[in-house]
Chains A and B, each alone.
Chain A
Amino acid sequence: MIMKRLIKLVLIVLSVLAIIFFSLKIENLEEYKTANTKVTFNATEYAEKFWKEKVPSIKNKAIETSELIPLLVNNPKEAFENHSRVLGISKTHYFITKGSGKITSIEDEYFVVKINENQTVKIATDFIFGNAVRDGSGEISINEFLNMTDFNNVSVAINKLVKKNVVRKLQTTAEQGKTIDFVGATEIYEENIDTENIRIIPVIANLGNGEKN
């Protein structure tokens, strides 16, 4: 009788242990932590830090626009190899460029700036999109980011800062005939080099009274 009870008790204990064991899922702790730790990336903060720390000195990386244009016409290979940056496998080249000139017209989406007798560029004031500033700067590596979403959100946040910090002021103060000093980013697709329509997204721009040129 005692033996039977003992066997019954052992079976019950084993059954309870079996239920507990099969109810549990055992995982490697490190793998679990990695899979469940979602750190929210703040692209706006990242872009503001970039703007504060990198943009003031970005001029040092810039090629003069008046040099870049003839180089793209006469020796694009040298322009791409020595002055541009490319993201991944791509034929789009990003340049940081600087110059100065006189505003000859103000359009809905850009100002036309004459930088010398033969050359004009467009300083963008609308359609500030894409990766020209992020990738042209050479300061932001894709390896820093957990995924493409975070990396791309940095471009969105930087472009918003361009609008907020540069374009809005330009739009309220620029006039035809005024001079402008600019540093900005431009993109050139190597199969369609159009030097008549160089479009520059400004990151630094200062207006003068129009005495130049």
Chain B
Amino acid sequence: MWVNNPWFVVLGESAAERAKELGYDAHIFDSQNDPAKEAEHFDNIIAMGYNAILFNPTDADGSVLNVKRAKKAGIPTFCMDREINSRDAATTQLLSDNFTGCVKLGQYFVKLLNKTGNYVEILGLVGDNNTWNRSNGFHSVVDEFPELKMLAQQSADFDRNKAMDVMETMMQANPDIDAVFCGNDAMAMGAYQAVLAAGKADRIKVFGFDGARDAVQGIADGKIAATVMQFPVEMSRISADLADRYLKGERGFTNRTPYEVILVTPENVSKYLPEN
């Protein structure tokens, strides 16, 4: 996992909390999005003989071997949120349905822009399947409307500060941007800061993904156009429950279970504000 990002803190801590409620000792290993650190953690986990791994992979391809090594050592792995490209390495994978969420977001985007305009896209980590599931879901809709033109596409690694810099550069190169689609809410908030500083908050619509508290509040305040709400607490707690069921003898899990995500817009934001 990656504890620099609050979203992953919630994911990891909720999983650990649920595991403790179920009577297990739980330890959080932070790979900081670094596959090398992740491999070291798996070495330690295997050497120390943990019973199960609730896992947020750093790389869809690169993490497969780590999961296979754990499997070979008799330790089942349950992927949470991010997936690995394997049918059978993990015991199961509980994943936000990112693609479908961005299909919904894309349709809202098209309607809000009346099927015409210029936009830019800020991607997350390029080695992460979620980055591409979000981007591809969005483009599976938006690319069907030829009068919507993407002027630039660049990664900001899911990082708020990087997104602010990227957005500043994009606005300097493209003065006629109508909207920006960001692969997560941290980047959406960074992009919004850049848009605000450039005095273009009334023109450029900012779209995010995650359902982070500040982005949801931003929708209510008219700063953010829309986001897609994920449910990290529920997802991580269910993953811990699945591991518990496995350790108690249950088998036959499906290799993947998508977890539905919800489009949040000004029309329904009141339901998702923290006080509600």
B16 in the interface, Cβ–Cβ < 8 Å?
A: no
Within 8 A of B (CB), among A138-173: 142-143, 145-149, 152-153, 156
Min distance, Cβ A171 to any Cβ of chain B, angstroms: 15
A34 in the interface, Cβ–Cβ < 8 Å?
A: yes
User: A143 near B254 (CB under 8 angstroms)?
Assistant: yes
Among A3-11, A89-97, A178-186, A203-211, the stretch in contact with B:
A89-97
Question: In the complex, A129 Cα to B102 Cα: how many Å?
Answer: 11
Residues of A within 8 A of B260 (CB): 87-92
Interface string of A76-115 (1 = CB under 8 A from B): 0000000000011111100000000000000000000000
Question: In the complex, A148 Cα to B137 Cα: how many Å?
Answer: 11
Question: In the complex, A57 Cα to B132 Cα: how many Å?
Answer: 34
Binding site for B on A (CB under 8 A): 31, 34-35, 87-92, 127, 129-131, 142-143, 145-149, 152-153, 156
B97 touches which of A88, A129, A147 (Cβ 8 Å): A88
Min distance, Cβ A193 to any Cβ of chain B, angstroms: 16
Question: In the complex, A164 Cα to B146 Cα: how many Å?
Answer: 17
User: B259 near A88 (CB under 8 angstroms)?
Assistant: yes
Question: In the complex, A153 Cα to B40 Cα: how many Å?
Answer: 34
B257 touches which of A31, A88, A149 (Cβ 8 Å): A88
Min distance, Cβ A116 to any Cβ of chain B, angstroms: 30
Residues of B within 8 A of A142 (CB): 254-256, 258
Q: Given the known A-B contacts A89-B258, A149-B132, are A129 and B64 also in contact in the complex, defined by CB atoms under 8 Å?
A: no
Question: In the complex, A90 Cα to B68 Cα: how many Å?
Answer: 29
Among B30-38, B80-88, B147-155, the stretch in contact with A:
B80-88
User: B259 near A89 (CB under 8 angstroms)?
Assistant: yes
Question: In the complex, A35 Cα to B83 Cα: how many Å?
Answer: 15
User: A148 near B254 (CB under 8 angstroms)?
Assistant: no
Residues of B within 8 A of A148 (CB): 83, 95, 97-99, 129, 133, 256, 258
Q: List 22 A-B contacts (CB under 8 A).
A: A31-B65, A34-B68, A35-B65, A88-B259, A89-B94, A89-B259, A90-B259, A90-B260, A129-B140, A130-B100, A142-B254, A142-B255, A142-B256, A143-B255, A145-B87, A147-B83, A148-B256, A148-B258, A149-B129, A149-B133, A152-B133, A152-B136
User: A90 near B258 (CB under 8 angstroms)?
Assistant: yes
Residues of A within 8 A of B170 (CB): none
B141 in the interface, Cβ–Cβ < 8 Å?
A: yes
With contacts A129-B103, A130-B104, A148-B258 known, what are 6 further pairs, Cβ within 8 A?
A: A88-B256, A89-B260, A90-B97, A143-B254, A143-B256, A149-B132
B39 in the interface, Cβ–Cβ < 8 Å?
A: no
Q: Given the known A-B contacts A31-B65, A89-B257, are A146 and B100 also in contact in the complex, defined by CB atoms under 8 Å?
A: no
User: A35 near B99 (CB under 8 angstroms)?
Assistant: no
User: B107 near A129 (CB under 8 angstroms)?
Assistant: yes
Question: In the complex, A147 Cα to B255 Cα: how many Å?
Answer: 10
B124 in the interface, Cβ–Cβ < 8 Å?
A: no
B100 touches which of A31, A127, A131 (Cβ 8 Å): A131
Residues of A within 8 A of B83 (CB): 147-148
Min distance, Cβ B95 to any Cβ of chain A, angstroms: 6
Residues of A within 8 A of B132 (CB): 149
Within 8 A of A (CB), among B61-109: 61, 64-65, 68, 83, 85-87, 94-95, 97-100, 103-104, 106-107
Residues of B within 8 A of A152 (CB): 99-100, 133, 136-137, 140
User: A146 near B137 (CB under 8 angstroms)?
Assistant: no
Min distance, Cβ A151 to any Cβ of chain B, angstroms: 8
Question: In the complex, A34 Cα to B64 Cα: how many Å?
Answer: 9
Residues of A within 8 A of B129 (CB): 147-149
B10 in the interface, Cβ–Cβ < 8 Å?
A: no
B136 touches which of A92, A131, A149 (Cβ 8 Å): A149
B60 in the interface, Cβ–Cβ < 8 Å?
A: yes
Question: In the complex, A89 Cα to B235 Cα: how many Å?
Answer: 10
B201 in the interface, Cβ–Cβ < 8 Å?
A: no
Question: In the complex, A152 Cα to B103 Cα: how many Å?
Answer: 10
Question: In the complex, A88 Cα to B83 Cα: how many Å?
Answer: 15
Q: Nearest CB to that of A153 among chain B residues?
A: B136
Among A88, A90, A91, A146, chain B packs the most CB atoms within 10 A around the CB of: A88
Question: In the complex, A156 Cα to B259 Cα: how many Å?
Answer: 19
Q: Nearest CB to that of B144 among chain A residues?
A: A129
